[in-house]
Amino acid sequence: MIKRIFSLFVIAFFLGSTMHSAEAATISEQSRIIFGTLQYLDKNGRYLTIKRDNGGLENYYFQRHTLIINDKGAAGLSALIEGDRLRLQFTETGSSRIDKVEVLNEEKEIESIRKGKIHQLDALSGKIKLSDSSKYTHYSWGYQSYYNRNSTFQLSNDVLIYYGGQLLDSSQFRYYSKFDAFFVTSMSFTNEIVQRVIINRSSGKDLQEEITFLNEGQQFIELKSSGKVNFHEGTIFIRNNRIVDPVSIMKGDKAFIATDNIDGKLYASIVYITK
């Protein structure tokens, strides 16, 4: 009887130790993996900057043996594009030196940039109806024919809608009919789905210029000819047909900028990097 109890105790101890070891190994492995969105890739291939899922921006460094993988297999640095969703793996916990980069391709490419006057913004149906709608193409707004300038688009489930720099709650949508808005869409099967909307407070102007400086902390960019243009939390930055953070914008970038006039100051509604 005593031997049997002792045997059961040994088995239980062994199983518990095994499970604990497996759990510890899993935790250890997870602590060496980071998910985030690529915001900047050093031109010399030394490091990258990602926005982690917890919201923080971090730099991580390539090594000679760093492996880069996309959906086609092993790849080089050219496979990494700002706006890509990445999975970074490290040899040691807390290290900043990358062992492996996996491109997850979860970030959807932008299908179009559009603007129009809001006729109805309906949270219940999840749709936005517009008049005078137009699509950005080749550095200008291409208006639809007279009979096709009224458009309706489906909002994505996680759409973000800003009025200036203020994020709107769905209960506020109904107050913004007859306002001018810019928005970006992505494709879902055969339909364009609205991902981001920014509602202008007043009439701004369009600019097509070189960016000479960006101050992320004070939230403004300097343009070669037009000078200072502010931005805010609602500003939509687009690079490589993906929505990115301001940190992705670099000196020398050529950009199309749609602006809003807020209290006499120019604020960027959309910053689209063209080159």
Cα–Cα dist 27/71, whole Å: 26
Residue appearing with tokens 């992705």: 248
- Asked if residue 53 is part of any domain, the answer here is yes
- Asked if residue 274 is part of any domain, the answer here is yes
Domain identity same for 212 and 147: yes
Domain identity same for 89 and 147: no
pLDDT in tens, 188-206: 888 899 999 999 988 889 9
- Asked if residue 21 is part of any domain, the answer here is no
Q: Which residue has the higher pLDDT, 18 or 236?
A: 236
Residue appearing with tokens 């203020």: 166
Mean pLDDT of 85-97: 87
Nearest partner of 63 among 26, 35, 88, 33, judged by Cα: 88
- Asked if residue 27 is part of any domain, the answer here is no
State the pLDDT at residue 133. 85
Least confident window among 28-37, 170-179, 207-216: 28-37
Domain identity same for 117 and 60: no
| Integer CA distances (angstroms), 188 to 110, 121, 185, 192, in order | 11, 20, 10, 6
Domain identity same for 206 and 267: yes
109, 186 Cβ separation under 8 angstroms: yes
State the pLDDT at residue 111. 92
What confidence tier does 272 reach under pLDDT thresholds 50, 70, 90? Answer: very high
State the pLDDT at residue 140. 80
Domain boundary (103, 138, 155) is at: 103
Report the CATH number that the domain containing residue 269 is assigned in CATH. 2.40.50.320
Domain boundary (57, 78, 103) is at: 103
Least confident window among 15-24, 75-84, 93-102, 153-162: 15-24
Give every CB contact of residue 10 below 8 A, 6+ residues apart in sequence. none
Domain identity same for 144 and 253: yes
Domain identity same for 150 and 76: no
- Asked if residue 87 is part of any domain, the answer here is yes
- Asked if residue 24 is part of any domain, the answer here is no
Structural domain boundaries, residue 192: 108-275
Domain identity same for 114 and 198: yes
Domain boundary (103, 132, 157) is at: 103
Nearest partner of 103 among 31, 33, 32, 38, judged by Cα: 38
What confidence tier does 228 reach under pLDDT thresholds 50, 70, 90? Answer: very high
pLDDT at position 146 over 90: no
Domain identity same for 113 and 226: yes
Average model confidence (pLDDT) across the chain:
83
Q: What is the CA radius of gyration of the chain?
A: 24
State the pLDDT at residue 7. 53
Domain identity same for 134 and 93: no
Domain identity same for 99 and 113: no
pTM for this one? Answer: 0.74
pLDDT at position 117 over 70: yes
| Integer CA distances (angstroms), 132 to 125, 150, 197, in order | 21, 6, 16
Domain identity same for 175 and 63: no
Residue appearing with tokens 């900043």: 96
CB atoms inside a 10 Å sphere around CB 175: 10
Give every CB contact of residue 41 below 8 A, 6+ residues apart in sequence. 48, 49, 77, 80, 82
State the pLDDT at residue 25. 37
CB atoms inside a 10 Å sphere around CB 177: 13
Give every CB contact of residue 139 below 8 A, 6+ residues apart in sequence. 208, 256, 274
pLDDT at position 75 over 90: no
pLDDT at position 16 over 80: no
The domain total for the chain is 2
Q: Which residue has the higher pLDDT, 87 or 54?
A: 87
Domain identity same for 96 and 179: no
pLDDT at position 255 over 70: yes
Least confident window among 113-117, 222-226, 245-249: 245-249
- Asked if residue 50 is part of any domain, the answer here is yes
